[in-house]
Amino acid sequence: MTLPPAVERLIDLALDEDLGRGDATSEALVDAGARAGGAIVAKQALVLSGLDVAARVFERLECRATAQASDGDAVKKGALVMRVEGPARAVLGGERTALNFLQRLSGVATLTRAYADAVAGTGAKVADTRKTTPGWRWLEKRAVRHGGGSNHRADLASGILIKDNHVALYGVRGAVERARKTAAHSLRVEVEVTRIDQIDEALAARADVILLDNMTRDQITQSVAKIAKRAIVEVSGGVTLETIRSLAETGVDIISVGRLTHSAPAVDLSLELDGSG
């Protein structure tokens, strides 16, 4: 498997954090030459993400990890998702680190799938934001894709997003026009608006995307009609599973949801040893 260097460093950090000073329990109880095997099992229905990272954790400790499913798969409670075999101390030493990655990333994928399913058939895409765990962005944004969502900007260099503080400096039209003149032509220009009267300025300046931030459903409906497909329409702000379908039905193109990454609960997976290995 090939993981980005940043992810390899993250694995190093996580292993050092948990195992850097040794494993007092296993060293006291488990014979140095003992071997063990077992399976990582889903304790709830979930969508998988991070199998390769979990496997890499065990491989670093000279264990063999074999996935029994694929990232992006929706599995049922009780499903076996990975087999692990190797020195017993190593299997036990890598257990929590591997599960931390797998539970967190599968949590993001599982929540994203729920949001993606909620807008199915509307034409709207569910997208993430940059509200990610520091150091985990590549993994969390990939988990969003595994869940059926789309990625917004990967970093500040990936696109131009003129937000409220930029608008405070230059105004909507002034900021968009300034970006058009000075930025690389390959970057699309997106501008955030909080009022319907700002839309005319955004359109006049030829914004590629207009982000409707924290507007009511009625305001969004009016804004979509006003924009009339002259720009991509994105909405954000306080989106929940209960409200996203209604927002999607207004005709918007993208619904960005920060909670996909900043508030996704970890799913329940566990490593169950069976004595093999």
Instruction: For residue 163, indicate whether it is catalytic.
Output: yes
Instruction: For residue 96, indicate whether it is catalytic.
Output: yes
Count CB-CB contacts under 10 A for residue 233. 24
Instruction: Give me the catalytic one of 213, 226, 249, 259.
Output: 213
Instruction: Give me the catalytic one of 163, 195, 206, 230.
Output: 163
**Coil, strand, or helix at residue 64?**
strand
Instruction: For residue 213, indicate whether it is catalytic.
Output: yes
**Coil, strand, or helix at residue 181?**
helix
Instruction: Give me the catalytic one of 60, 83, 96, 188.
Output: 96
Instruction: Give me the catalytic one of 71, 95, 190, 192.
Output: 192
d(CA 253, CA 125): 6
Instruction: For residue 71, indicate whether it is catalytic.
Output: no
Instruction: For residue 245, indicate whether it is catalytic.
Output: no
d(CA 67, CA 80): 9
Q: Alpha helices, DSSP H only, in the chain?
A: 5-19, 24-29, 51-60, 88-118, 137-146, 164-170, 172-182, 199-204, 217-227, 244-248, 259-262
Residue 229 one-letter amino acid = K
Instruction: Give me the catalytic one of 43, 64, 130, 131.
Output: 131
- Give catalytic residues, as residue numbers: 96, 131, 163, 192, 213
